[in-house]
Structure 1
Amino acid sequence: MAQIVEFAPVYSEADNPAYHFVNGTWNTHDQAESLAVSRGHSYLSPGDFVTLEEADTLLAAADALVLAPSVAGPSGMWQPTDGEEAGRILGHRILDRISADKPDLHIVLISHFLVGHGAAHQNAKPNTWALRSLEAHLRGGRNPYTILRPTWLSTIHDESYQTRLSQDPYADGLVSRDSIASAVLTAVENPRVATGRTAALFNLSIPGTGTTDLADRFGSLALDYEAEFALQTA
C-alpha cells in the first residue's frame, strides 16, 4: 500500500507570503482518490490554505506526491498575471524543499499538452507557461518524477476508451478523468517504468479490446534527456 499525497497549488497565489501555498481544486481529484482507495492506497490532500508545517506533516510518510497545479482556487477561477514567474515560485517553494528533505519521493506532475505545442497555439494561457517552468524545475531536481500532459478533458468515460501515452510534443485529443486517474495510479505503482518520463495522455475508442496495459506503455517511453543524463553521470 502506498501513501499518496495530492497538492493542487493555485498559480495566482504562488507568491502569497501568508501560506506555503494555497490549495485549489484538481479536476480529477475525485477519480484519483476513489481509484487509489479501491487499490488499497491512502490518498490525502490538505485544506485550502496550507502552512509549511502542514505540508511537511503530510509529506513525512508519503510514498508519492501528485502535484496538480490549478487555476481553481477556494473562491473561484484565477489566472496568473505572469505564468512563468508563478511556475518558478512554486518550484522553489514546493519542489526545492522536497528535494532537500525527501529526495526519494516520487512526484507525479499533472501538466498540460499545450506545454508541448508552444506559445503560438491559439489556446495558450499564462498557466501553460507556469507549467513549462515547473516541468523544467522538476526535471532538474533530485526527485524521481513522472510528468503527465492530459489533452482536452472529456466529460464522459466509455468502456471502449483505450489510454495512450505519447511523447510527440504536438499530441492532441480527448482524455477522460478516469483515464487520467488510471495513468497517475499506474505511475505511482510502477515507478521503475514510469519515472524520468514525460508523456501526453489521450483516449482512443477501440471497442472489444479490454483495458490498456499502462505499465507496458510507460515502459515503452524513452527517458527524458535529464533523466538519461543523470543515469550516465551517476
Structure 2
Amino acid sequence: MARILELSPLFSEAGSSEFHIVNGVWNAREQAERQALARGHTYTRLADGGHDRAAVAEALAAADAVILAPGSVPQPASESAGRALGQRLLAQVSEALPAAHIVLVSHFLVGHGITHRNAKPGTWALRAFEAHLRGGPNPWTILRPTWLSTRHDVSYQTRLTQDPHADGLVSTESIGAAAVTAIEHPEVAAGRTASIFNLSIPAGGDTDLAAQYAALDPDFEYTALEYAKAGV
C-alpha cells in the first residue's frame, strides 16, 4: 500500500512565501484518487489556497509517494518560474522524503519544443521543472499527457511512448491509471519520461501499463545516477 500525496501548485516567481495549491489545475485528480483508493492506497491532497512550508511538511510526513501536477495552462508562467518552484518545492520533498517516488504530470508540448504553434510560457516552466526533478535525488516518472479528454470510452487503450513529438488525445481516466501504476511499479517506471495517449481498440490490446513502462528506456540522467550509485 502506498500513501500518496498529490500536490498541484501554481507556478510562481521566486520570492513567494507560499505554495499556492489549486486542485483544479490537474483535471485527472478525481480519477487518480478513485483508482488509488480502489487498489488499497491512501490518497491525500491539500485544499485549494495558499500553504506555507510547514503545511507542506505536515502533509509530506504522512506520505511515501508524491504526484506533482503543476499544470501549464491556468496562469502565465516562465522558465524562471519553473526553476523557482523546482528549487523550493522539490528541495522540500527531497529533504523530507529522499527515497519517495515522484510522478510529475507534465505536458506533451515540452517534447515538441518552442516551434510548436501551441507553445506557451507555461510549457517552458514545465520543461525547467522536469530538468530540476531529473537532477534531484528522488526516483521519478514524468508523464506528458497529450490533448485532454474528459470522456473515457471502454475501447480506449492507454499508450506510453518516448516519441518526443507524440500527439493525440488522452482521457483523464488513463492519466490517473498511468500515475498510480507508476507508483505501484517503481522498479520499471522510475527514471522514465513518456508521453501518454489513447488508441480506440474495440477488443483486445495491451492493457498492462507496467509492461509498457518496462519497455521504455530510462532517461540519461537516471542511468548516470544508477551508474554512480554502483561506482561505475
**Bigger Cα displacement from structure 2, 93-102 vs 135-144:** 93-102
Match for residue 69 of structure 1?
70
Match for residue 29 of structure 2?
29
Match for residue 179 of structure 1?
174
- Which amino acid is 1:220 matched to? A
- Which amino acid is 2:208 matched to? D
- Which amino acid is 1:78 matched to? Q
| Structure-2 separation of matches of 1:168 and 1:17 | 36
Q: CA deviation at 1:99?
A: 1.9
| Structure-2 separation of matches of 1:211 and 1:117 | 26
Pick from 130, 138, 153 the counterpart of residue 135 of structure 1: 130
Match for residue 84 of structure 2?
89
Structure 1: unaligned runs, 5 residues or longer: none
Q: Judge conservation of contact 2:72–2:126 (CA < 8 Å) in 1.
A: no
Alignment of 1:112-131 (within 5 A): 112-131=107-126
Q: Judge conservation of contact 1:14–1:22 (CA < 8 Å) in 2.
A: no
Match for residue 17 of structure 1?
16
Pick from 72, 75, 84 the counterpart of residue 78 of structure 1: 75
Match for residue 54 of structure 2?
53
Match for residue 152 of structure 1?
147
Classify the secondary structure of the residue corresponding to 1:33.
helix
Q: CA deviation at 1:155?
A: 2.9
Q: Among the aligned pairs, what percent are the same residue?
A: 53
1:226 aligns with 2:221: yes
Structure 2: unaligned runs, 5 residues or longer: none
- Which amino acid is 1:187 matched to? A
Q: Judge conservation of contact 2:64–2:97 (CA < 8 Å) in 1.
A: no
Note the aligned Cα RMSD (angstroms).
1.4
- Which amino acid is 1:53 matched to? A
Classify the secondary structure of the residue corresponding to 2:152.
coil
Q: CA deviation at 1:16?
A: 5.8
Per-residue CA distance 1:122-144 (angstroms, 9 max, x = gap): 00111100000000000011000
| Structure-2 separation of matches of 1:223 and 1:116 | 16
1:110 aligns with 2:105: yes
- Which amino acid is 2:20 matched to? V
Per-residue CA distance 1:169-198 (angstroms, 9 max, x = gap): 001110000000000010011111000000
| Structure-1 separation of matches of 2:167 and 2:71 | 21
- Which amino acid is 1:125 matched to? K
Q: Judge conservation of contact 1:149–1:199 (CA < 8 Å) in 2.
A: yes
